[in-house]
Amino acid sequence: MRLERVELLHVALPLVTPFRTSFGTMTSKDTFLLRVVTDEAEGWSEFAADPEPLYCSEFVAGAETVIRDFLLPRVAALPEPTTAAVAPAMAAVKGHELAKAAVETALLDAELRAYGMPIATFLGSVRDRVPAGVSVGIKNSLPELIDDVEKYLDEGYVRIKLKIEPGWDVEPVRAVRERFGDALPLQVDANTAYTLADAPHLRKLDAFDLLLIEEPLAENNLHAHARLQRRLTTPVCLDESIHTASDAASAIAMDACRVINVKPARVGGYTEARRIHDIATAHGVPVWCGGMLETGIGRAPNLALAALPGFTLPGDTSASKRYFAEDITEPFVLVDGHLPVPTTPGIGISPLPDTLARFTTSTRVLYGGARKL
């Protein structure tokens, strides 16, 4: 397989409803897609972060520079840009996992399309559909929250995640438990909004039998998360703090978490995500697939990952209409609380050309011939 061209397409898709977290409010998904062209097939991927470095340190304009100036030259220097060779070639560049994931995934898509192999087969997925959870943002009032949760449960979502922050934590959880009962699979995500000094307050959540509390403390502070876990019965789940399989191994060894949110983008791509699944599963630690409000391009391969055997908790892999009135791919539709695992070669989906053109705000050629797009 020979790399011929890499194109970057900026896209902007309005969200159907603003999504508020402890670090800000999103009203649209503004990111870029990569399209790689090889002599055998083309491949697609989506950069998972946003224009501002608020969820993580990476951001759209920075990732574009890193990919163009540091990652693609290393990949292009390979005799063949196979999936096995790409991550080692990029390893000298520190960090930038989400940018690396975009490069690896586009090439993986091209390679698997050339083989005629679906990503689910490549990863070792064992299910043809996966249960869908939904992440519910911070609201202005409890009645508004209850209405939203009710709507999602009516649509069939099998698990609810509430975004929390200081001042919006125990009361929303109590309200949802009182309205929907103790049997509802329920979890919370703080996106690093608390400190260890909040442990006595966070302990109040133990009364609500939550599946987990996600990333309550500062990113990368495994020690503080381990100390918090000792004081909570609710399992701590790490998201932002896990960048590599080595981080996952350390966190498990320190009892800094009892559950891991695996986002392939956050860990540099699907090969590292698979390693984290393997390590966690070997230690009896459940994993689940997180989300970054992806378009169908990012969502399709996440569904394949979520079908691995160790993904025993429902993911934030929701249906397309939870995010967008119109997606740039065929939409993923919830059936009986589940989404289908894609079965066609590669990541299992392609952009719809006309729709993509409408949502594309600009394009660049990052590598190869400057042929007009």
DSSP 253-290: HTTS-SEEEE-TGGGTSHHHHHHHHHHHHHTT--EEE-
Q: Which residues, 178 to 237, sit near ligand SMG by CB under 6 A?
A: 189, 191
Cβ–Cβ contacts within 10 Å for residue 166, how many? 12
Q: Burial code of 19-39, b = ≥16 C-beta within 10 A, e = fewer?
A: bbbbeeebebbbbbbbbbbbe
We find the least distance from the C-beta atom of residue 135 to ligand SMG, in angstroms, to be 3
We find the least distance from the C-beta atom of residue 40 to Mg ion, in angstroms, to be 37
Tokens found for residue 371:
């042929």
Tokens found for residue 361:
């705000």
The answer to whether 293 contacts ligand SMG (rule: CB under 6 A) is yes
Which residue number, 222 or 242, has a Cβ lying nearer to ligand SMG?
242
Which residue number, 213 or 279, has a Cβ lying nearer to Mg ion?
213
We find the least distance from the C-beta atom of residue 240 to Mg ion, in angstroms, to be 7
**Catalytic: which of 29, 100, 139, 263?**
263
One-letter-per-residue 3-state SS of 150-198: HHHHHHCCCEEEEECECCECHHHHHHHHHHHCCCCCEEEECCCCCCHHH
- Segment near ligand SMG (CB under 6 A); pick from 81-89, 111-119, 138-146, 284-292: 284-292
Which residue number, 81 or 291, has a Cβ lying nearer to ligand SMG?
291
Residues that bind Mg ion (CB under 5 A): 189, 214, 239
Residues 6+ positions from 69 with CB-CB distance below 8 Å: none
We find the least distance from the C-beta atom of residue 191 to Mg ion, in angstroms, to be 6
- State the binding partner of 86 from Mg ion, ligand SMG, none, CB within 5 to 8 A by kind: none
- State the binding partner of 292 from Mg ion, ligand SMG, none, CB within 5 to 8 A by kind: ligand SMG
**Catalytic: which of 29, 139, 161, 163?**
163
Q: Which residues, 114 to 173, sit near ligand SMG by CB under 6 A?
A: 135
The answer to whether 264 contacts ligand SMG (rule: CB under 6 A) is no
- State the binding partner of 327 from Mg ion, ligand SMG, none, CB within 5 to 8 A by kind: none
Which residue number, 109 or 239, has a Cβ lying nearer to Mg ion?
239
We find the least distance from the C-beta atom of residue 239 to Mg ion, in angstroms, to be 4
Q: Which residue is nearest to ligand SMG (CB)?
A: 291
Q: How far apart are CA 61 and CA 58, in angstroms?
A: 9
Binds ligand SMG (CB under 6 A): choice among 292, 313, 334, 349 = 292
| Phi/psi of residue 84, nearest 5 degrees | -65, -30
Residues 6+ positions from 59 with CB-CB distance below 8 Å: 49, 50, 51, 52, 53
Scanning the structure block, which residue is given the tokens 């894609």?
342
Measure CA of the first residue to CA of the last residue in the chain; give whole Å. Answer: 22
We find the least distance from the C-beta atom of residue 81 to Mg ion, in angstroms, to be 31
The answer to whether 327 contacts ligand SMG (rule: CB under 6 A) is no
3-state DSSP percent of the chain in helix, strand and coil, to 5:
40, 25, 40
- State the binding partner of 135 from Mg ion, ligand SMG, none, CB within 5 to 8 A by kind: ligand SMG
- Residues interacting with ligand SMG, by CB under 6 A? 21, 26, 55, 135, 189, 191, 239, 290-293, 316, 318
Active-site positions read: 163, 263
